[in-house]
C-alpha cells in the first residue's frame, strides 16, 4: 500500500505494533479513563471484529440460546414424566386388581356350576348393564357317565319320558359336596 510504513502504522489491529492504549473521555466532563490492551488482547480483539469472529459469535449465541430453551423445558418434561409414571403405576395396580377379581369371579362361577365364558362369546348391552349371552345347551363334564356307567344305567332304565319337553329334570346328585 502506498504511504504505509513498514512498522504497521495505519492499521490499529496490527499485532506486532505492541500494546494498544485507549483513552476514553466525556465531552463535557473532566473524567477520563485509559485502557491498555496487551498484544494478546489486541489479537483477540482483531479476531472478534473480523468476519470469522462474528460468525463464531453468532453460532455460539445460537447454541447457547438453544441450550437455554432446552434447559427451560426440563421442569415441564420432568413433571410430565412423573405424571406418566403415576399413570403407569395406577394402571399396573388396576390390572392386578382386575386379574384378582377375574380369578374370584371364575371361582364363584365354578362353585355355582356355570361353565366359564368362552373367548368367542361377546357381551351384549342390555339397558344400563352388560349381560353375557344365554347358552342353550350346557352339559357339565362331571355329570356325563362313562361308557361302563352308561351301560349299567341303560340296563335299569325305564322308558319314562317327561310329557313336556320344556320341563327340566332335576340335576343329578353328586357325591362331592359344594363348599
Q: What is the DSSP string of 47-63?
A: HHHSHHHHHHHHHHHHH
Is residue 110 a part of any domain in this protein?
Answer: yes
Per-residue pLDDT band at 179 (split at 50, 70, 90): very low
Is residue 145 a part of any domain in this protein?
Answer: no
24 contact partners, CB below 8 Å, separation of at least 6: 32, 33, 34, 35
Residue 134, by phi and psi: left (phi above 0), alpha (psi -120 to 50) or beta?
A: beta
Is residue 135 a part of any domain in this protein?
Answer: no
Give the domain extent around 45: 14-49
At 69, which helix (H) or strand (E)? Answer: helix 51-112
Residues 35 and 68 both lie in one domain? no
Per the prediction, the chain carries an average pLDDT of 74
Beta bridge partners of 32: 25
- Phi, psi of 119, rounded to the nearest 5 degrees: -60, -30
Per-residue pLDDT band at 1 (split at 50, 70, 90): very low
Is residue 96 a part of any domain in this protein?
Answer: yes
pLDDT (tens digit, 9 = 90+) per residue, 116-166? 566 655 555 555 555 555 555 555 555 555 555 555 555 554 444 545 555
pLDDT (tens digit, 9 = 90+) per residue, 76-110? 999 999 999 999 999 999 999 999 999 999 999 88
Q: Residue 38: pLDDT above 90?
A: no
**Rounded mean pLDDT, 63-77:** 95
Question: What gap in Å lies between CA 19 and CA 12, rounded to an integer?
Answer: 10
State the Cα torsion 95-134-177-140 to the nearest 10°: -110
Residues 80 and 103 both lie in one domain? yes
Q: Residue 54: pLDDT above 60?
A: yes
Q: Which of 114, 143, 159 is the last residue of a domain?
A: 114
Is residue 153 a part of any domain in this protein?
Answer: no
Residues 38 and 81 both lie in one domain? no
Strand locations in the chain (E): 20-25, 32-37, 124-126, 129-131
Model confidence pTM above 0.75: no
Is residue 140 a part of any domain in this protein?
Answer: no
Residues 75 and 108 both lie in one domain? yes
Tell me how many domains the chain contains.
2
Q: Residue 42: pLDDT above 90?
A: no
Amino acid at each position: 500500500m502506498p504511504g504505509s510504513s513498514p512498522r504497521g502504522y495505519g492499521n490499529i489491529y496490527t499485532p506486532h505494533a505492541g500494546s494498544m492504549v485507549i483513552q476514553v473521555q466525556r465531552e463535557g466532563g473532566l473524567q477520563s479513563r485509559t485502557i491498555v490492551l496487551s498484544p494478546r488482547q489486541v489479537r483477540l480483539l482483531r479476531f472478534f471484529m473480523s468476519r470469522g469472529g462474528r460468525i463464531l459469535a453468532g453460532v455460539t449465541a445460537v447454541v447457547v440460546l438453544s441450550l437455554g430453551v432446552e434447559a427451560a423445558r426440563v421442569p415441564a418434561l420432568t413433571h410430565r414424566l412423573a405424571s406418566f409414571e403415576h399413570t403407569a403405576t395406577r394402571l399396573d395396580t388396576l390390572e392386578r386388581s382386575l386379574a384378582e377379581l377375574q380369578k374370584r369371579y371364575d371361582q364363584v362361577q365354578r362353585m355355582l356350576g356355570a361353565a366359564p365364558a368362552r373367548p368367542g362369546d361377546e357381551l351384549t348391552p342390555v339397558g344400563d348393564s352388560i349381560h353375557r349371552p344365554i347358552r342353550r345347551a350346557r352339559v357339565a363334564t362331571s355329570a356325563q357317565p362313562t361308557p361302563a356307567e352308561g351301560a349299567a344305567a341303560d340296563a335299569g332304565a325305564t322308558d319314562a319320558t317327561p310329557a313336556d319337553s320344556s320341563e327340566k329334570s332335576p340335576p343329578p346328585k353328586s357325591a362331592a359336596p359344594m363348599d
